[in-house]
Amino acid sequence: MSTKDVRRVPHVTIDDQAVNGRTLLAVTEVRSRAERKERTRQNLLDVTLTMISNRSLASLSLREVARAAGIVPTAFYRHFESMDALGVELVDESMRPLRQMIRDARRGRAAHGDIIKDSVAILGNQVRTHPAQFRFLSRERYGGVGAVRRAIDTELRLFTSELTVDLARLTAGADWTSDDLEMTADLMVSTMLNTVMALLEVDKRHVEDEQAILHRAERQLRLVALGMGVWHSSSG
């Protein structure tokens, strides 16, 4: 019986599962055809994200991705029209941690005092937990193909306008114009993105560096906040 014949048998997936501290093999039959399709599709997205960590999306070939996902090149087309289309889907997928970040920050804010410290800590956590997603977004934001770049830009603009709303609440008393608010939000988002990229470039080395970068981001945001206290619209 050759290895090829195995594949002709009813579909079976083998997963590693940790139970009671021991690793054992669990055989999971995947019933639905739609479910199996979704699994392959997700696998394509996953392996692409993994491969992207060292290189750019443009340098990845359809064949290479298909190979890594364990399917034949032609089967790729059952899921995506092209590598570019896969890239656009990947933007959506990678934006999830970023959206989660906003939710976390807003929930935490109600609790106690230091918004900046908390926000930076949340940023650090998200980057540490989802490095591949953030790396993908950083890499492709300016370096990528047109469609992917545009998709990322749209999402980031959304992020900035969310922050603008938050800033409007915080400065409810002062005479801030919406233009000034947006300008400030943009400055803060730019600072955070700069921090993300710095975090991604050092994560191989020691944890102290990571702390130093987060501490720097904290001080930078604090500096901006101090400026906000003195700002009045005629300043610009």
Which is closer to DNA, CB of 66 or CB of 181? 66
In this structure, what token pair is assigned to residue 111? 């609790």
- What is the C-alpha separation between 39 and 36, in angstroms, rounded? 5
Q: Which does 56 bind (CB under 5 to 8 A by kind): its own copies, DNA, none?
A: its own copies
Q: Considering only 13-21, 65-73, 81-89, 212-220, which stretch makes contact with its own copies by CB under 8 A? A: 212-220
The pattern of x and - marking residues 4 through 33 that bind DNA according to CB under 7 A reads x--xxxxx-------------------xxx
Residue 173 DSSP SS3 = coil
- What is the C-alpha separation between 19 and 64, in angstroms, rounded? 34
Q: Considering only 24-32, 98-106, 135-143, 165-173, which stretch makes contact with its own copies by CB under 8 A? A: 135-143
Among the listed residues 71, 52, 73, 72, the one whose alpha carbon sits nearest the alpha carbon of residue 62: 73
Check residue 11 and report its DSSP letter. Answer: P
Candidates 92, 165, 201, 207: give the one binding its own copies (CB under 8 A).
201
Which is closer to its own copies, CB of 39 or CB of 222? 222
Q: Which residues, in sequence order, are CB contacts of 11 under 8 Å at separation 6+?
A: 29, 30, 36
Q: Which does 216 bind (CB under 5 to 8 A by kind): DNA, its own copies, none?
A: its own copies
Q: Which does 236 bind (CB under 5 to 8 A by kind): DNA, its own copies, none?
A: its own copies
- What is the C-alpha separation between 158 and 164, in angstroms, rounded? 10
Residue ranges in 54-83 that form contacts with its own copies under rule CB under 8 A: 55-56, 58-59
- What is the C-alpha separation between 183 and 198, in angstroms, rounded? 23
Residue ranges in 33-52 that form contacts with DNA under rule CB under 7 A: 33-34, 36-37, 40
User: What residues does 12 pair with on adjacent strands?
Assistant: 29
31 part of the interface to its own copies, by CB under 8 A: no
Angle at 121 between CA 137 and CA 232, to 5 degrees: 85
Q: With left for phi above 0 and alpha for psi between -120 and 50, is residue 85 left, alpha or beta?
A: alpha
48 part of the interface to its own copies, by CB under 8 A: no
Residues comprising the chain, all counted: 236
- What is the C-alpha separation between 96 and 222, in angstroms, rounded? 27
55 part of the interface to DNA, by CB under 7 A: no
Candidates 6, 25, 34, 230: give the one binding its own copies (CB under 8 A).
230
Which is closer to DNA, CB of 78 or CB of 157? 78
Q: Which does 33 bind (CB under 5 to 8 A by kind): its own copies, DNA, none?
A: DNA
**Could you list the residues that contact DNA (CB under 7 A)?**
4, 7-11, 31-34, 36-37, 40, 61-64, 67, 70-75, 77-79, 82-83
